[in-house]
Each structure stands twice: as C-alpha cells, then as structure tokens.
Chains A and B, each alone.
Chain A
Amino acid sequence: MSGVSGSAVDAPGASLGDAVGLPERRRTPAQAARGVVEHAARALGPLLLTLAVGALVLAATGRNPVSVYHLYLLQAAGSWPLLANTFSAATPLLLTGVGTALAFRAGFFNVGLEGSVYIGALATAWVGAGLSGVSGPLVASGALVAGLAAGAAWLLLPALLRTYLAIDEVVTTLMLNYVAIALTSYIVLYHLLYQTIGNAQTRPIPQSVQLSPLVPGTTLTVAAPIALVLVLLYGWFLRHTRLGVEVRMVGDNAGFAAAVGFSIRRAALLTMLVGGALGGLAGGCVVLGVTHNFTSGFSTQPGYGYSGIAIAVLGRNSWFGVLLAALFFGGLASAGGVIQLFGNVPIALTQILQGTLMIFAGVQFVRFHRRRRTLARGQAVPAMREQEV
C-alpha cells in the first residue's frame, strides 16, 4: 500500500481530499505562495507578542529593547560563523520539530520527543564510544541508527496504548519524558560512568567517530543538511504519498478517514514511532556533533523535545513553518549566551523569550476556517472527538 506511487492516488485521493477540505494536491505556484504567506502571517502574531513582552520586561528594568534585540540579531546572524552556530543550534530542533509536527498532523498529541532525545542520545553515545576497530564513519552511522531505533522504541509503549487501549497519549508521552530523564541519568551514573563534571558523563566519542565541523570553529556538522533534507522530505511525504494523504485525512477527520478505509491505528503508530525516531536522531546528532558524550540532563531548558513542540505549533505543522520556527529558536539559543557578556542583560532573558513564545505559540488573531481546538478532558486531540462518528 505504501508503495503506491503518487499518480495512482490521483483520482480517488484527490476527490476524497476535496470532500474533507484538504488542500488540492496540485497547487499553482500562486496558491503555494499564498499558503506560505498564510503560514507566515499565523506565526507572526505569536512572534510579535513575544517580542512585545520581552520589550516590556527590558524597558521595565531599564534596558533598551531595541539595542538588545539588535544585539540578538547580530549574534545570531551577523557573520557566517555566527550564522553557522545558529544553524547548528537549529539542527536538533528541526528534527524534533518535524517529528512532533508529523504526529500533530495526524491528530495525535505526541509530546514525548524529549524522552526520545534522551534515550536516543544515550544509545548513540553507547554505540559510538563502544565500538572499536571499525572505520569511524561506519561507527557514526551505526551509532545514529541505534539512536534512531532507541528513540522510536521509547515511544512504542504510548503508541500501542493509544492504538489498542485508547489511552490519552498526551499524558503517557509527557510522563515518560520524566522517566527517560531519570532513567538515562541512572544508567550513566551506575553503568556507563566515565567522569563527573557537573553532571555524570559517558566515555567520550573517539575523534574519528565524531561528526566534524563543516565550518571550522563552529559545531555545524553534516547533521544540519541531513535535518534539512528530512524536513523537506516531510513536506513531500504529506503531499505526494498515499500514506501522507492518510496521515492528513486522519488528522482532519478521523471518523471519515476510518469510514473510507484508512487505518487510524496505522497512522498513529507510524507518526508516533517515526516521531520518536526523529527525536532519537536529534539526540544522537547532538552527541556526535556537539557534546561528544552523553551528559545526564544535557537537554537543558527548554529541552530539544519541548522546543520541538513549540516549533511544531508555531509552524502550524507545515515543513516551511517548522523550518522558520526552528531557525528562530536556534538563533535565540545560540545568541542567548552572548547577550549577558555584551549587553549587560541577564542570560535568563532568553529563557523568558522562549517561555513566552511557547505560551503564545498557538495563538491566532485571525481565525482561519478551522475549528477551535480545545483540549477537553479525555479528548486530547481534535481527531478523537470526531472518531465517535
């Protein structure tokens, strides 16, 4: 079924899509451009609100918001190496953002990528530092695959509970995040401890296995283009594959999708497990490219997985939206550290901006034809409500 090419879907897929209000499969460039503009307009509201709140905090504490924001901009994109750092910081966020968006698009509120990031990172660190006598790139690939598999496996339980017992995935995935953080910290401390510098760390990844910087002096590695390709692949998948149509249909109207023979169960398992895999890959990329070991609690505020949720919501689950939102979060993170140094502004300002952006991420000022999505008790996702049909 998944092997069916795009053209085979044409007749039934497109007409069904029209029936449930899916965008048409073939869009003119003008329509595509309008879609992009609409997404940008939707994301602009939360961004402006966040900048306004930040400006208020800055002004109230006697700082000039304009000059501070200017400094952020300079530090995030003022030169090629700085821009490379922004892209590097955005790399795991692209992966967690797109992994979260995939499940959201199918109507499953999978917020468990933070856990997958930890489990995947630990698996990558374990394989990456453990294998010897094999060529570096081979070990690196193996380590990343291990991270990917571990990240997916971590979300297998909540995915199965969702599909077979109808257990709210919001709660299970959220709870398992805390379990993953404690579990990895336990494993490192009691079974894989190499040294403790602040936090417990595993054995460092050998030089030959590390992802080497594309731009010298930065942490921009081959992981960045890989993440970028995966984001593009996500957009292509949704639009041009049968499974992608299925994912969108289940997300838009699960009852209808089930009635016409699409499998909700398959959509749930697919999107949550692939999401977990992308989370695991994000963790693995950080280990091989940036930290070069697993440090317990390494995914610090706000956490790669949690940022991914905000990015998916801010980007309205579209590949382009995810790309922009991830770059914005990446820029904040990479410039944030320097603000205190040059701007006489406490470093926590970045955390304020990130938190505010998360609060406002889903805010809509102009209501576009879609139903308002509230999260009533036991009805975690809009799709679930329609499944009663």
Chain B
Amino acid sequence: MQTILATGLLFTTPILLAALGGAINREAGIVNIGLDGMMLVGAFIAVFIDWKAHNVAVACLAAVAAGALVGWLFALPITRLGANEIVAGLGLALLMPGLFGYLLPIYFGQASTFDPGNVQALGVWHVPLLSSIPGLGPVVFAQDPITYFSWLAIPLTWFLLRRTVLGMHLRAAGHNPEFAVAAGLPLARLRELSTAIAGLLAGLGGAQLALATVQLFNKDMTAGRGFIALAAFYFGNSRPFLTAIAAFTFGMADALSIRLQTAGLPDQIPEMLPYLAVVVALIVVALRRRAAAGLSAVDAVLPTN
C-alpha cells in the first residue's frame, strides 16, 4: 500500500503540473491538447542540458524555458492565423515524438532513446520533522523538489487566476472574449501567455518524468500523460484544487495499473479510468445544472454550456 502511494505520488507530478497548466490555458480560452508534446520537449531538454551542464537545477530551468517557448510558438497559429486548437494540439502531440524520432538517429545514433549516462538525478528531499511522522511521513514527505513545487503550484494557480489582475485578464479572455476585446485587453497575447505558462508547467513535468527516477529520455516516455492531464483539468472543471484531486486519482490509477500488470491482471481497466471519469463527471454536472434550472425537458434550442 505504501509503495503504491509512493509510486502514485511520483506519477502524479507530471500529470498535475501539465493539468494545472492546461487549466490556466483553458481559463484563457484555449483547450490545450498538445500538453503531451510540451512535456516531451521538457523531458528531452532536461536530460540533454543535465548531461551537458552537469547541473540538475540548470537542466530544470532549461526544460521550463523550452516548454514555455514551444507553448508560445504553438499558440501563434491558433491566435494569429485561425488554426483550430484541437487539431493543432493533436498535431503537436504527434509532431514532437516525430521530431525526436528524427533527430535521435541523426545525432546520437539511437532510434528512440537518449541515455548519455552521467546525468544527475533530481534527488530526494526529506522534509524535516514531517518526514519522521510514523507511517505516511517517510512516504509523503520524501519527494523530489519538482514534486514539492507541483504541490505548491496548486494554490499558486488558484492565486494567479483568482487574486491577480493578470489572472482576471486571462479569465476574461476565456470566459468573455467579446468583453475582453471591448475592454481593450490584448486577447491574442493573453492566450499566448497562457499557453506559454501551460508549456512551462508541462515542460517542468517532463523534467520530473525524465530526471526523478530514470535519468534518460525516450521519445515515447510521456505515454499519453498529457492527455491524462487533459482529462484531469476537464474533470476538475479548470479549478486548481479539483484538478489536483483528479490528477492524484489518475496518478494512483497509473500506479495501480502497473501493479495489476505485474500481477497478470487486465491493466486496461485503470487505463480507461481517467477518460471515463471525465465523461461521467460531465454527465453529473449537466444533470445537476438541469435540475437546478428546473427543466423537465431540454427543448429543441440547446442551451450553451
């Protein structure tokens, strides 16, 4: 049980970071399906810079910068040229593994894995006092620094969106674009900024994925975590705390599915869970909304969400 919790927390981090980024992005009006690609960039840059600079902190910063850059670049066709965000997001999630699948054989003679060795791991920080709580303490409070940051990012995301002027502007851009434009807000730039933030967080998630346990890069290592993050922020309706709970649940399901797999049981069931959970959550929300509106039937003209 304790090992499942430890693994679950470890698996939660990249999903949580990308999901918080996706939530900010969605609040600003862009549904980001390309998180997986941004995470992958973060993972590669983290390993590459760590290998070159022998400094794990520099590597993480580089991953963050690369993620933000890719996020910003990704937003441009959507905000400036009218590209469709859903199709573009799927495209980015396809493009990034393709790019590494192209570059790795050329520069490192490897088909899909980049394992230079001599890469510094993230390391584990034991929180004083808390980590000595009997039982859960040594499991919960002995994490890598990015995981601690991901926990911190939950209230920070809430604070950014709800208590800062920038957050208000971002939400205006997403919830009421006509108003945002009328109020003179730079709609496109706000959306680009939010996508860069999403890229930044997803990139950091990628760095954790690559440096916390394995210290290597594989072009398929995100294994759809960006899409699970998408499910998480949809499940959480872009609210940071609910999103975090969803991310944790999906991280635990991920840990459980590995356990089931080694036990020879079908791991496809927990694999489906995040996606089914979103559909169920949407149905519950819609039914509650309908009950609240006191409607016995929805008439032919459908209400907007």
Q: Smallest Cβ distance from A343 to chain B, in angstroms?
A: 12
- Residues on A with beta carbons closer than 8 Å to the beta carbon of B100: 348
Give the complex CA separation of A373 and B79 in angstroms: 10
Identify which of B74, B91, B105, B272 contacts A357 (C-beta below 8 A): B91
Q: Which residue on chain A has the smallest CB distance to residue B286? A: A165
- Identify the interface centre among A61, A175, A258, A263: most chain B CB within 10 Å of its CB: A175
* Residues of A329-359 whose CB lies within 8 A of B: 346-352, 354-359
Query: Is there an interface contact between B91 and A361, defined as CB atoms closer than 8 Å?
Result: yes
Query: Is there an interface contact between B94 and A302, defined as CB atoms closer than 8 Å?
Result: yes
Give the complex CA separation of A388 and B227 in angstroms: 31
Query: Is there an interface contact between B102 and A362, defined as CB atoms closer than 8 Å?
Result: no
Q: Does B214 contact A (CB under 8 A)?
A: no
Q: Smallest Cβ distance from B16 to chain A, in angstroms?
A: 19
Give the complex CA separation of A301 and B95 in angstroms: 10
Knowing A165-B283, A263-B300, A387-B304, the reply to whether A375 touches B94 (Cβ < 8 A) is no
Give the complex CA separation of A267 and B200 in angstroms: 41
Knowing A161-B283, A361-B84, A379-B304, the reply to whether A183 touches B272 (Cβ < 8 A) is yes
Query: Is there an interface contact between A183 and B268, defined as CB atoms closer than 8 Å?
Result: yes
The number of residues on chain B lying at the interface, defined by a beta carbon within 8 Å of a beta carbon of chain A, is 63
Give the complex CA separation of A140 and B93 in angstroms: 36
Query: Is there an interface contact between B92 and A379, defined as CB atoms closer than 8 Å?
Result: no
The A contact surface, by secondary structure, is helix
Q: Does A73 contact B (CB under 8 A)?
A: no
Q: Which residue on chain A has the smallest CB distance to residue B187? A: A374
Query: Is there an interface contact between A264 and B302, defined as CB atoms closer than 8 Å?
Result: yes
Q: Does B142 contact A (CB under 8 A)?
A: no
* Residues of B54-113 whose CB lies within 8 A of A: 74, 77, 81-88, 90-103, 105-106
Interface 0/1 of A31-66, CB less than 8 Å to B: 000000000000000000000000001000100000
Query: Is there an interface contact between B82 and A372, defined as CB atoms closer than 8 Å?
Result: yes
- Residues on B with beta carbons closer than 8 Å to the beta carbon of A384: 302, 304-305
Query: Is there an interface contact between A175 and B98, defined as CB atoms closer than 8 Å?
Result: no
Knowing A362-B83, A364-B82, A376-B174, the reply to whether A61 touches B98 (Cβ < 8 A) is no
Knowing A179-B275, A360-B77, A364-B81, the reply to whether A166 touches B86 (Cβ < 8 A) is no
Q: Which residues of B contact A (CB under 8 A)?
A: 26-27, 29-31, 33, 74, 77, 81-88, 90-103, 105-106, 174-175, 177, 224, 227, 230-231, 234, 238, 266, 268-269, 271-272, 274-276, 278-279, 282-283, 286-287, 290, 298, 300-305
Contacts A263-B300, A346-B102, A362-B87 given; 16 further ones with Cβ under 8 A? A61-B106, A166-B303, A179-B276, A182-B272, A183-B268, A264-B300, A265-B302, A310-B90, A310-B91, A355-B95, A359-B83, A361-B84, A362-B88, A364-B82, A373-B84, A376-B29
